[in-house]
């Protein structure tokens, strides 16, 4: 907890005295107001201070603030303690921290231009600048103030006069009178809203406007807007009424005009005409009713046109005129329907008669007749033929009957008798045409059959093919066939017979009187001759293929003989490779390969004889080829076995060579030499057999290696190579065993040890204490606006950045440059702790700054000091401008306690390490590191190891050394 003194805290707890006798207290630091009494005096805050309220006291009078001020009320007294107090803000430095803590206050007076932002000022009820003080940068801030200012700003932004203006414009456009009361009310509301907006903008521009000013302006502005909106709604209702009346009349006039212009009597007049055209009786009511309805409608239309033309026509007049026309149209429609029905009844019989005639003509298919005529001519018939001419005459009679019928159909004056007579004549003519068409179809079929027989003969002639036969004969001769053979002569004879049949058919085609049966017989003769020729050609092809097969067998045998030659050459190579690999020639794999090669040679010689023999058959040639193929297969198998044996010999030698090379490469005496060095390093006896055996084993393995390197792996026997490999491997195994024994001997060497006492702490640091004072140079100015200064204060726990960038003035509280600078630095320090830790951080800050007094006067130097809290050992200054203010940048605490330090030495009898511990080693790991780093650096053959959490042990790294300790504090660490 921070030590408090009169300089750090003034506690007023007996305020009952203050209630009896008013006074003015001067606060240089912090102030606690306690109790439940009343202070009627005043308070002067000259240096940065915090006023904390405890209990429920009441403060009256004037609180004068010349430095930074923070009020920390309790929630229960935020509105009561200071509500009767007034404040005079006259800070000596610019923009000090002034925080009202949200308390309710009386009048706040701004006494000079140094006042900046006033924090948590929500409870200030009234504030003003003192007489003759020019308004400066003072600004009220607080949660409620900021919210109220934002709310007023939003209300100003949301002011809407455009809607009201648009509403007035619409009213005038609807022929409304601007002298109407509802119109004038909107004009008055616009003026009121604009005045409220201007007042609100003035309040927003005032940075020291209190909460009530802001909320009042917001309320006035909102009420003015709401009142205007209500008046606009009334004006809009009146505008809508005017527009609705005008729209209704315009709509009625449009409907009347549409009704007049849309009136069409032509259909009704046409119905009258249609009735008379079918000889209807014009004296009947059905005719007269329509005529009267037309006359009445024309009168109603004339009356409607007169109403539409009036400029002052009323809505009722327009509706009545429209209704008269609409009702007249409905009556005419009813009467016209009856008239049309009567007319239709008169024409239905005539229509049915015309329909029957049209149906009779439409149902006859003339396309079938035309097709029959075309088919007859296509089949070779003539237009002059009787059967064809009869059909033409019947068609002419039908055409004449249809022409007459079409005339009756086209005429509007045709009688029912005329239409029915024309129908009978058309049907009779259609029957005659149908009979004559059937005659033509029968004649057409007979012509088609004759043509088909002729076409079949023509096709048979065209299909005659002797080319294949001629080609077969040529192929036969190409295969060395004889043209004197019967099979060849048979083909020639069949070709001649086919040509004769073809010639007879061609003669018949040119004969005009030829019958269908003659055509068919000639076609059959050609087909039979072609079949005989095809049969003879097939036999000739069989003989030709036999000749080709013999030639192919001879060529295949020749190819097999040729293919055997490379295999025989390869066999010779395989035998040579086996011999080169020093293979055993008596081995079966070798003798089998030789025999198979000789057998293939014999089979090749026999094949050559069969090939050259003219009498050899296909079977003979194929047998010779198969013998060679089988011999090749046997030789291939034997050569594969021989090549495998050769490869095995090569692999065995290569493996032996590689094993020897590996054994030589694996020779390793380094570990043995390292084991001897380790034994020597730990003080082992060199005369013992365990050491000498390793030396002898090193010599033996090196000799075996030299012998192995003398082997010729290419020409020496494989057994010699393997023996050399075994010798090297055994020597290496032996040396490994000797090394293991030497390592065991090394491990059994007893190293000297020394165990420490049990340590009860690991912090051996020098303890620093006391207040640190960093005294400045003599200061000859406090003006830094043109030459800004920056530096940082670091006490090991906190870092405070000092930025002096303005001209720091002197006043009644700071009369020298050093005093002004010290006050500014103190303000910067307090601001830092307030920003980082709030009020608690400020109350427990670790450093401060003040002027150094010269007797009763402020001097020309200042100091930065600590409050002497434990753990703060040094004050450090750094940054760009610390040298401007100070001669040095490090300042130590005045008191040092070195009782925890430890000094001692450790020796191995030859070399010594000296230790001076003056820091916190934290734990046993830190102790071991400090020991081993120093021992290693000084070449002492000793290491430190942990025994437990509070004990360590010194262990020698050689058996032939002695560990000893010395120094001032050896007894604190070792027994």
Residues paired with 892 in a beta bridge: 874
Distance of alpha carbon 36 from alpha carbon 28, whole angstroms: 24
Residues paired with 799 in a beta bridge: 794
φ and ψ at residue 841, rounded to 5 degrees: -65, -40
Distance of alpha carbon 696 from alpha carbon 701, whole angstroms: 9
Interacting residues of 841 by C-beta distance below 8 A, sequence separation 6+: 833, 834
In eight-state DSSP terms, residue 137 is S
279: left (phi over 0), alpha (psi -120 to 50) or beta: left
Tokens 């192995």 belong to residue: 708
Tokens 């509105």 belong to residue: 79
Average pLDDT over residues 151-167: 90
- DSSP result, 287-323: HHHHHHHHHHHHHHHHHHHHHHH-TT--HHHHHHHHH
Check residue 27 and give its pLDDT: 39
335: left (phi over 0), alpha (psi -120 to 50) or beta: alpha
User: Residue 32: pLDDT above 60?
Assistant: no
Check residue 222 and give its pLDDT: 92
Encode burial over 46-64: b for 16+ CB neighbours within 10 A, e otherwise: bbbbbbbbebebbbbbbbb
The closest alpha carbon to 530, from 572, 568, 486, 500, belongs to 500
Which of 506-515, 695-704, 800-809, 871-880 reaches the highest mean pLDDT? 800-809
In eight-state DSSP terms, residue 751 is P
Report yes or no on whether pTM surpasses 0.85.
no
CB-CB neighbours of 455 under 10 Å: 12
Check residue 6 and give its pLDDT: 26
Check residue 198 and give its pLDDT: 92
The closest alpha carbon to 965, from 889, 914, 928, 897, belongs to 914
Check residue 417 and give its pLDDT: 67
- DSSP result, 381-421: --TTSHHHHHHHHHHHHHHHHHHHHHHHHH-TT--HHHHHH
Strand 895-897 and strand 847-854: the pairing is unpaired
3-state secondary structure string across 56-75: CCEEEEEEEECCCEEEECCH
Distance of alpha carbon 339 from alpha carbon 264, whole angstroms: 17
Supply 70's token pair.
Answer: 């923070």
Supply 657's token pair.
Answer: 């060579």
386: pLDDT confidence band, cut at 50, 70 and 90? Answer: confident
User: Residue 15: pLDDT above 60?
Assistant: no
Check residue 415 and give its pLDDT: 59
Check residue 592 and give its pLDDT: 84
Alpha helix (H) residue ranges in 21-110 = none
As to burial, measured by CB atoms within 10 angstroms (0-12 exposed, 13-18 middle, 19+ buried), residue 774 is: buried
User: Does residue 355 contact residue 396 with C-beta atoms inside 8 Å?
Assistant: no
Check residue 799 and give its pLDDT: 95
φ and ψ at residue 767, rounded to 5 degrees: -100, 120
Strand 789-794 and strand 799-804: the pairing is antiparallel
Angle (CA) 941-944-947 rounded to 5° is 145
Check residue 477 and give its pLDDT: 82
Distance of alpha carbon 379 from alpha carbon 452, whole angstroms: 10
Check residue 35 and give its pLDDT: 41
User: Does residue 638 contact residue 574 with C-beta atoms inside 8 Å?
Assistant: no
What does pLDDT average to over the chain?
A: 84
Distance of alpha carbon 673 from alpha carbon 681, whole angstroms: 12
The sign of the torsion formed by the CA atoms of 161, 164, 166, 169 equals: negative
Distance of alpha carbon 704 from alpha carbon 663, whole angstroms: 10
Strand 105-110 and strand 84-89: the pairing is parallel
Average pLDDT over residues 491-496: 86
Distance of alpha carbon 576 from alpha carbon 593, whole angstroms: 12
User: Residue 34: pLDDT above 70?
Assistant: no
Interacting residues of 793 by C-beta distance below 8 A, sequence separation 6+: 799, 800, 802, 829, 847, 864, 875, 876, 877
Least confident of 214-223, 719-728, 876-885: 719-728
Supply 290's token pair.
Answer: 């329509």
Least confident of 53-62, 131-140, 435-444, 689-698: 53-62
CB-CB neighbours of 285 under 10 Å: 9
User: Does residue 20 contact residue 3 with C-beta atoms inside 8 Å?
Assistant: no
In the chain, what percentage of residues exceed pLDDT 90?
21
Interacting residues of 764 by C-beta distance below 8 A, sequence separation 6+: 900, 901, 902, 917, 918, 919, 920, 921
Give residue-wise pLDDT tens across range 520-550: 888 888 888 888 888 888 887 888 887 888 7
User: Helix (H, G, I), strand (E, B), or coil: what is residue 361?
Assistant: helix
User: Helix (H, G, I), strand (E, B), or coil: what is residue 26?
Assistant: strand
Give residue-wise pLDDT tens across range 260-299: 888 888 888 888 887 777 656 788 888 888 888 888 888 8
Average pLDDT over residues 659-684: 81
Angle (CA) 759-762-765 rounded to 5° is 135
User: Does residue 544 contact residue 479 with C-beta atoms inside 8 Å?
Assistant: yes
In the chain, what percentage of residues exceed pLDDT 70?
94
Average pLDDT over residues 921-939: 93
Supply 368's token pair.
Answer: 């079938």
Distance of alpha carbon 218 from alpha carbon 211, whole angstroms: 11
Strand 874-878 and strand 890-892: the pairing is antiparallel
Strand 964-966 and strand 117-119: the pairing is unpaired
As to burial, measured by CB atoms within 10 angstroms (0-12 exposed, 13-18 middle, 19+ buried), residue 384 is: exposed
| Helix axis angle, 366-378 to 386-410, nearest 10° | 160
Give residue-wise pLDDT tens across range 780-833: 999 999 999 999 999 989 999 999 999 999 998 899 999 999 999 999 999 999
Cα distances (angstroms) measured from residue 577 to each of 580, 642, 647, 649, 658: 5, 9, 9, 11, 22
In eight-state DSSP terms, residue 436 is H
147: pLDDT confidence band, cut at 50, 70 and 90? Answer: very high
User: Residue 176: pLDDT above 90?
Assistant: no
φ and ψ at residue 176, rounded to 5 degrees: -80, 155
Name the helix (H) or strand (E) containing 131: none
As to burial, measured by CB atoms within 10 angstroms (0-12 exposed, 13-18 middle, 19+ buried), residue 821 is: buried
């Amino acid at each position: 907890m921070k030590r408090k003194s009169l300089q750090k805290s003034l506690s007023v707890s007996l305020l009952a005295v203050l209630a009896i006798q008013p006074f003015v207290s001067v606060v240089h630091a912090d102030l606690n107001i306690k109790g439940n009494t009343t202070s009627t005096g005043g308070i002067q805050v000259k240096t940065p201070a915090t006023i904390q309220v405890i209990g429920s006291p009441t403060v009256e009078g004037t609180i004068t603030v010349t430095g930074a001020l923070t009020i920390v009320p309790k929630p229960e007294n935020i509105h009561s303690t200071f509500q009767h107090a007034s404040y005079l803000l006259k800070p000596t430095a610019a923009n000090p921290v002034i925080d009202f803590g949200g308390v309710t206050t009386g009048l706040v007076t701004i006494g000079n231009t140094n006042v900046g932002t006033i924090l948590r000022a929500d409870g200030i009820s009234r504030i003003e600048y003192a007489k003759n003080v020019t308004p400066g940068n003072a600004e009220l801030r607080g949660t409620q103030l900021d919210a109220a200012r934002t709310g007023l700003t939003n209300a100003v932004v949301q002011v809407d006069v455009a809607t009201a203006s648009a509403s007035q414009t619409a009213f005038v456009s609807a022929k409304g009178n601007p002298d109407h009361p509802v119109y004038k009310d909107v004009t008055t509301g616009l003026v009121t809203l604009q005045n409220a907006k201007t007042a609100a903008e003035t309040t927003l521009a005032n940075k020291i406007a209190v909460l009530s000013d802001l909320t009042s302006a917001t309320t006035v502005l909102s009420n003015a807007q709401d009142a205007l909106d209500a008046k606009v709604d009334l004006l809009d209702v009146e505008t809508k009424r005017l527009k609705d009346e005008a729209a209704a009349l315009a709509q009625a006039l449009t409907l009347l005009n549409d009704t007049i212009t849309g009136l069409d009597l032509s259909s009704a007049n046409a119905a009258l005409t249609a009735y008379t055209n079918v000889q209807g009786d014009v004296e009947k009511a059905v005719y007269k009713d329509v005529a009267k309805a037309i006359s009445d409608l024309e009168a109603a239309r004339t009356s409607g046109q007169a109403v539409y033309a009036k400029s002052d026509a009323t809505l009722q007049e327009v509706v009545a005129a429209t209704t008269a026309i609409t009702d007249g149209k409905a009556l005419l429609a009813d009467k016209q329907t009856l008239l049309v029905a009567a007319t239709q009844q008169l024409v239905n019989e005539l229509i049915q008669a015309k329909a029957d005639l049209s149906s009779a003509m439409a149902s006859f298919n003339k396309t079938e007749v035309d097709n029959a005529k075309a088919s007859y001519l296509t089949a070779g018939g003539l237009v002059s033929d009787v059967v064809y001419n009869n059909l033409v005459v019947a068609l002419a009679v039908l055409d004449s009957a249809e022409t007459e019928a079409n005339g009756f159909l086209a005429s509007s004056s045709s009688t029912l008798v005329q239409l029915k007579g024309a129908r009978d004549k058309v049907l009779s003519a259609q029957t005659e045409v149908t009979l004559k068409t059937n005659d033509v179809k029968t004649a057409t079929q007979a012509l088609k059959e004759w043509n088909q027989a002729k076409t079949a003969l023509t096709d048979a002639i065209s299909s005659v093919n002797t080319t294949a036969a001629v080609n077969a004969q040529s192929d036969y001769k190409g295969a060395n066939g004889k043209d004197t053979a019967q099979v060849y002569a048979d083909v020639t004879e069949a070709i001649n017979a086919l040509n004769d049949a073809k010639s007879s058919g061609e003669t018949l085609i040119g004969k005009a009187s030829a019958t269908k049966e003659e055509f068919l017989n000639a076609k059959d003769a050609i087909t039979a001759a072609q079949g005989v020729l095809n049969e003879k050609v097939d036999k000739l092809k069989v003989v030709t293929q036999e000749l080709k097969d013999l030639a192919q067998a001879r060529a295949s045998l020749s190819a097999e003989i040729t293919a055997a030659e490379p295999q025989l050459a390869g066999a010779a190579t395989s035998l040579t490779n086996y011999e080169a690999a020093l293979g055993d020639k008596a081995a079966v794999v070798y003798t089998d390969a030789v025999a198979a090669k000789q057998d293939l040679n014999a089979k090749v010689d026999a094949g050559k004889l069969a090939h050259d023999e003219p009498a050899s058959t296909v079977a003979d040639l194929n047998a010779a080829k198969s013998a060679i193929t089988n011999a090749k297969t046997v030789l291939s198998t034997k050569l594969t076995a021989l090549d495998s044996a050769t490869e095995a010999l090569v692999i065995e030698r290569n493996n032996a060579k590689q094993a020897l090379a590996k054994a030589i490469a694996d020779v390793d005496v380094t570990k043995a030499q390292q084991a001897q060095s380790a034994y020597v390093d730990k003080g082992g006896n060199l005369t013992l057999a365990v050491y000498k055996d390793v030396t002898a084993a090193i010599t033996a393995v090196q000799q075996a290696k030299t012998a192995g390197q003398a082997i010729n792996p290419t020409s020496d026997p494989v057994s010699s190579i393997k023996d050399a490999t075994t010798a090297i491997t055994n020597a290496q195994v032996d040396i490994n065993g000797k090394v293991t024994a030497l390592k065991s001997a090394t491990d059994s060497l007893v190293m000297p040890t020394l165990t420490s006492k049990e340590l009860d702490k690991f912090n051996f640091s020098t303890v620093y204490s006391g207040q640190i004072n960093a005294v400045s140079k003599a200061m000859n100015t406090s003006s830094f606006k043109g030459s800004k200064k920056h530096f940082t204060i670091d006490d090991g726990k906190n870092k405070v950045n000092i930025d002096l960038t303005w001209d720091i003035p002197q006043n009644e509280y700071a009369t020298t440059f050093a005093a002004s600078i010290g006050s500014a630095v103190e303000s910067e320090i307090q601001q830092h702790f307030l920003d980082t830790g709030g009020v608690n951080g400020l109350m427990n800050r670790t450093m401060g700054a003040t002027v150094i007094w010269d007797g009763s006067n402020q001097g020309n130097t200042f100091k930065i000091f600590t409050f002497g809290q434990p753990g703060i050992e040094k004050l450090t200054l750094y940054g760009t401008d610390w040298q401007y203010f100070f001669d040095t940048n490090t300042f130590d605490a005045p008191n040092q306690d070195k009782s925890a330090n430890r000094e001692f030495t450790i020796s191995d009898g030859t070399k010594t390490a000296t230790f001076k511990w003056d820091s916190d080693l934290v734990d046993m790991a830190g102790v071991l590191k400090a020991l081993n780093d120093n021992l290693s650096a000084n070449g002492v053959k000793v290491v430190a190891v942990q025994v437990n959490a509070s004990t360590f042990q010194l262990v020698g790294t050689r058996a032939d050394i002695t560990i000893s300790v010395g120094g001032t504090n050896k007894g604190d660490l070792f027994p």
